[in-house]
A and B are shown apart, each in its own frame.
Chain A
Amino acid sequence: GAVVSQHPSRVICKSGTSVKIECRSLDFQATTMFWYRQFPKQSLMLMATSNEGSKATYEQGVEKDKFLINHASLTLSTLTVTSAHPEDSSFYICSASPLRTGSGYTFGSGTRLTVV
């Protein structure tokens, strides 16, 4: 089945530093990947759509300069949280679809970011 690998699973960083999160599709190519943010006991909020070889598409209210997305290959997308602040602490999850009929989206295992 389709597998999406996300690293790191947990990260603690100091305020003002940047954190990079990687999302890899292991057994399929993904021209598009999606980045979500999830607060405790809440739904997934789509932050941006990562497009291979072009600029990411950000949802309304998401700061492009704060959440940098790079999709340099068909199997890798990265999300960098720049100048992190405690309010950026959250669960970040990526997803991609192998685009097989009825296959749904495969999610990474998520990254728990804590900014201290």
Chain B
Amino acid sequence: EAQVTQNPRYLITVTGKKLTVTCSQNMNHEYMSWYRQDPGLGLRQIYYSMNVEVTDKGDVPEGYKVSRKEKRNFPLILESPSPNQTSLYFCASRIIGGASYEQYFGPGTRLTVT
């Protein structure tokens, strides 16, 4: 089954404790992206990647890091989480050069930073 998976689905942590949210897709998509969803703001892009070892900032990259060492994986790293990073996070992927810009989303990771 074609899918994007994220782990963990739920995470409660404390300020300053480094964490990683994993994302994996099995569709051989070149493009992968991370979004955060906050009430009244919709989904905002954090980082994206066009292919292995190619990443760039989205609209809200502060406080986040990413890496793309393999095509299927795109982890999101919070080196020193803060309460304003409490949010619902989505990973997405899409094929590059296709007829549409449809992105496939993972199920989401709800992060709470206390």
* B partners with A: no
